[in-house]
Copies of this chain bind each other. A is one copy, B any other.
């Protein structure tokens, strides 16, 4: 299926937004879209990977697996995010769909050619890469000396910020994009510990739950000074 940039949901925020209308069209002709359903694998670690992609809708996770198959989530990817290490011929981590997702896929060779012609695209990717790096370090610092409950609180806050439309203020109410198990795997905790932490946070009056996925931040300040 060929691309329809005109109706693209991330046409203003994705990396290719820095291109002119016509340049973008030219790039689009080299690409195609792909749908993934929950659990489908986009990249598997260690495979040669010859494509890169922009996420249009849905959400992806970047994971690694330790010796005994335990999964660790290293990053979440939201719409307009870019996937693919342009300088490494092999993927180092798995990339898997968390929900039904739609992507815009390019051969690395085509993207490489576009980068050659459009330095502004290079700049857009650099910016994204530095943001990814920043988020990755956030996740690292979450795991620090803090108690399990503080870690979960910090993650909730981070997810609220990701769910928010405005970049600085967290959303007051939002739906968790991930399961308890996936939260646990982002923090290196167990499902049970995450569940208990959420229960405690609710009993303390810091948050309120709305079904299993809905979260309302009653007292965001309390979460904020954990960071």
Contacts and interface: CB of A to CB of B under 8 A. Distances in A.
A28 to B, nearest CB: 22
Contact of A188 (B75, B122, B126, B144): B144
Contacts of A115: 123
A66 B141 contact: yes
A125 B86 CA distance: 12
Taking the full assembly, how many copies of this chain does it contain?
2
A91 to B, nearest CB: 11
A137 interface: yes
A84 B136 CA distance: 16
Nearest to A84: B130
A143 B87 contact: no
A204 interface: no
A119 B64 CA distance: 33
Interface in A125-147: 125-127, 129-130, 132-134, 136-137, 139-141, 143-146
Nearest to A189: B145
A70 B136 contact: no
A1 interface: no
Contacts of A141: 64, 66, 72, 74
A18 B51 CA distance: 25
A129 B133 contact: yes
Interface string A216-227: 000000000111
B227 A72 contact: no
Contact of A67 (B70, B134, B226): B226
A25 interface: no
Kindly list the 8 A-B residue pairs having the minimum CB-CB distance in the complex, ordered from nearest.
A119-B119, A129-B129, A136-B136, A72-B144, A64-B141, A74-B137, A126-B126, A122-B122
Given A64-B144, A74-B137, 7 more contacts: A66-B141, A66-B226, A72-B141, A93-B137, A122-B123, A133-B136, A136-B137
